[in-house]
Structure 1
Amino acid sequence: MPSIALADARGPLIIALDAGTSSVRALAYDAAGHAVRETEEQIPYRLETTADGGATFPADALFDLTVRAIDGVLQRLGDRSRA
């Protein structure tokens, strides 16, 4: 699905979150499901690996990164974040 400019986005807007293996990403979408251009916030992090091949990351740190990603999207949305 194509992305659209913020000025063309139909409300309400939502923020989608993706906590992956190397970063937390947040991106705004409009009511029609279009990604809103220039709203993505991506914050990289490094997983800690264990001797048995596992991977961990502290939950409180992941929460903090997620909040930062959401804040980044809200800043990019400006006044539209209050609608």
Structure 2
Amino acid sequence: QSSLKTGDFRSSDFDGGLRRFWVSVHRAINLSSFTFLVCFISSLDQSNQQLILGLDIGTSSVRAALFDRTGKLIPKTLVKNDRELKRTNDGGSEIDADKAVSQLIFTIDEVLKAADKVRGQITHVASSCFWHSLVGVDDKGKPTSKVLSWADNRSSEQVAELRKRFDETAVHDRTGARFHSSF
């Protein structure tokens, strides 16, 4: 078992550069256009092949796979676990936060099982996540609500009222956000 530490990103860490890596990740797991949140973790022991764990945490599935340092998919490591948004009669679109975390952990475990014969260490993690979502948390980081997804439209009436009372274009120019029921 290796010890991991947070490390600094260096473009020399990837043969062919970061752009080529992301193109490979995008093609391999067929990602939609997400804003990528990238977290890099460097191992203390660099003697084995450096591997990248790619995570796609979406509203309809969680996908994960291993890639080599050039962005090439490690065969048989792509795992996809489907999920559904819970739709409520009042226009809600939710995901249980604790179940979402458990599903992510399960998916990562499945990738690691599939890669049991792969020689190397995960030295980097790259993730993308669904966007425009909200979850309440307490002072210890524990969820106090469901994850309210971008598709939740329970506040549609409030959005209509905002459009009556304010110039949406002026608000957009000032904030960069249009009126939308998800926020």
Category of TM-score, reference length = shorter chain: 0.7 to 0.9
Indicate conservation of the 8 Å contact 1:28/1:36, yes or no: yes
Q: Does 1:55 align with 2:63?
A: no
Q: What SS does structure 2 have at the residue aligned with 1:75?
A: helix
- Give me the whole-angstrom Cα distance separating, in 2, the residues matched to 1:81 and 1:63: 27
For the aligned residues, what is the CA RMSD? 2.3
Deviations 1:21-60 (A, max 9, x none): 2111111111011122210111111111234534110111
Letter in 2 for 1:59: A
Per the normalisation by structure 2, the TM-score is 0.37
Q: Give percent identity, aligned residues only.
A: 32
Total equivalences in the alignment: 77
Q: Distance in 2 between matches of 1:58 and 1:17?
A: 19
Answer whether contact 1:18 1:25 (CA < 8 A) is retained.
Answer: yes
Runs of 4+ in 1 over 4 A off after TM superposition: none
- Structure with the bigger RCO (C-alpha within 8 Å, sep 6+) is 1
Q: For the Cα contact (< 8 Å) 1:49–1:55, is it kept in 2?
A: yes
User: Which residue matches 2:51?
Assistant: 13
List alignment gaps of at least 5 residues for structure 1: 4-9
- 2:77 is equivalent to residue 39 of structure 1: yes
Normalised TM-score (structure 1):
0.76
Structure 2 unaligned residues grouped into runs of 5+:
1-23, 29-47, 122-183
Which protein is richer in helix relative to its size?
Answer: 1
